[in-house]
Chain A
Amino acid sequence: MSRGWPLWEVFVRSRRGLSHTHVGSLHAPDAEMALRNARDVYTRRQEGVSLWVVPSAEIVASDPGEREAFFDPADDKVYRHPTFYDVPEGVEHL
Chain B
Amino acid sequence: MPHVYGNDFGAPERAPELTDEAFAALLADDGRVEPRDPMPEGYRRTLVRQIAQHAHSEIIGMQPEGNWISRAPSLRRKAILMAKVQDEAGHGLYLYAAAETLGVDRADLLDQLHTGRQKYSSIFNYPTLSWADVGAIGWLVDGAAIVNQVPLCRCSYGPYARAMVRVCKEESFHQRQGFEILHTLSHGTPAQKAMAQDAVDRYWWPSLMMFGPPDDDSPNSAQSMAWGIKRFSNDDLRQRFVDMTVPQAEVLGLTLPDPEIRWNEERGHYDFGTVDFTELFEVIKGNGPCNRDRMAHRVAAHEDGAWVREAADAYAAKQVARTEGAA
CB of A25 within 8 A of CB of B100, answer: yes
Residues of B in contact (CB 8 Å), total 38
Q: Which of A29, A57, A59 contacts B316 (CB 8 A)?
A: A29
Is there a chain B Cβ closer than 8 Å to A44's Cβ? yes
Report Cα–Cα, A25/B162, bound state, in Å: 12
Q: 0/1 per residue, B4-16, Cβ < 8 Å to A?
A: 1111111000001
Main secondary structure on chain A at its contact with chain B?
Answer: mixed
Q: Which of B2, B7, B87, B316 contacts A44 (CB 8 A)?
A: B87
Residues of A in contact (CB 8 Å), total 31
Q: Which of A3, A56, A66 contacts B7 (CB 8 A)?
A: A56
**Taking each of B2, B8, B87, which has the highest tally of chain A beta carbons within 10 Å of its own beta carbon?**
B8
Q: A1-B313, A9-B9, A25-B9 are in contact. Are A63 and B97 (CB under 8 A)?
A: no
Q: Which of A7, A40, A41, A65 contacts B100 (CB 8 A)?
A: A7
**Chain A residues within an 8 Å CB radius of B312:** 2, 28-30, 33
Other than the given A24-B163, A45-B170, A63-B4, 5 more pairs (CB < 8 A) read A41-B93, A56-B7, A56-B10, A59-B8, A62-B4
Residue pairs across A and B with Cβ atoms less than 8 A apart, 22 shown, are A1-B313, A2-B310, A5-B309, A7-B10, A9-B9, A25-B97, A26-B93, A29-B315, A29-B316, A40-B86, A41-B93, A44-B83, A44-B86, A57-B7, A57-B10, A59-B7, A60-B7, A61-B5, A64-B34, A64-B37, A65-B38, A69-B2
Residues of B bordering A, CB below 8 Å? 2-10, 16, 34, 36-38, 83, 86-87, 90, 93-94, 97, 100, 105-107, 162-163, 166, 170, 306, 309-310, 312-313, 315-316, 319-320
